Amino acid sequence: MSSSANSSSVVLPMSNDQREEVGLLDAVDDVHGGVIVELKGSMDCKTFVSSLRASLSHWRQQGIRGVWIKLPIELSHLVQPAVQEGFCYHHAEPTYLMLVYWIPASENTLPINATHRVGIGAFVMNEKREVLVVQEKCGILRGSGIWKFPTGVLEQQGEDIFAGAIREVKEETGIDTDFLEVLAFRQNHGAFFGKSDLFFVCMLRPRSSEIHKQESEIEAAAWMPIEEFAAQPFVKKHELLKYILDLGLAKADRNYSGFTPLSISSAFSEKLSFLYLNSRGL
């Protein structure tokens, strides 16, 4: 096979001294010595396999290590031939599947799929020392009559922890809030589809008081005296709820200091991010 580092096709030998020109898959370099292929348009299996085999041979000569193929859902018929050529699933999104291949005869050092999902629990207390609580219409606690703090997960890519907490409280109860601090966080394993879970306990200040519960997921929502919430047998047994209550009261009454978001810049990106820190010691 003859090719160059920047070529878009290669010439392959065939029988009877004939040669066939085969197009390489369009790829861009990643920052770790690999390439990323983002397939677009239409392609039949035979053409795809020929180009994939030629491309792998070409990349192997170049010393490429990892190969990523982003396969849109409309090209799902190419999944099986890619897997037959040695590719593995990496992750899937609603519109595409990511496949990956490790070329060298050495340990595979490609990053694995996301290991965690991020959840929040919201402690919201008004000036009457009433906490915002809900009863769930679905899930493990449905029909139990148990009152709990609003909780949820960050479901949108690019959503910050503080923004997700504000959104979840608004969606479940209709209450507008200001984010104050991350009081603590818990790590749990073997949760949703076997993934690990990071759960951030957040304190928010209410800016409104009239409740409008989420009809699809919330059976009831209320402002409840904090003593009444704490007296529930379930709260006494469930340590996470007990600690959320203790942390919220410690923040309100005893000057407990949690972690506030600080917007920071980066040398690697123009996008701002947030560092959650305890500013008291700075």
> Rounded to 5 degrees, what are φ and ψ at 135?
-115, 135
Count of residues making up the chain: 282
Q: What angle do CA 216, 220, 225 make, to 5 degrees?
A: 150
Distance of CA 73 to the CA centre of its chain: 20
Query: Cα-atom radius of gyration of the chain, to the nearest Å?
Result: 26
- Smallest CA-to-CA distance from 183 within 238, 231, 250 is with 250
- Smallest CA-to-CA distance from 231 within 147, 169, 164 is with 147
- Give the span between the Cα atoms of 228 and 210, in whole angstroms: 20
- Give the span between the Cα atoms of 230 and 207, in whole angstroms: 24
Read off the DSSP letter of residue 141.
Answer: T
Strand partners, 261: 276
Query: What's the N-to-C CA distance of the chain in angstroms?
Result: 62
- Give the span between the Cα atoms of 252 and 261, in whole angstroms: 19
Show which residues are catalytic: 171
- Smallest CA-to-CA distance from 150 within 77, 221, 51 is with 221
HSE-up of residue 113 (Cα within 13 Å, Cβ side) = 15
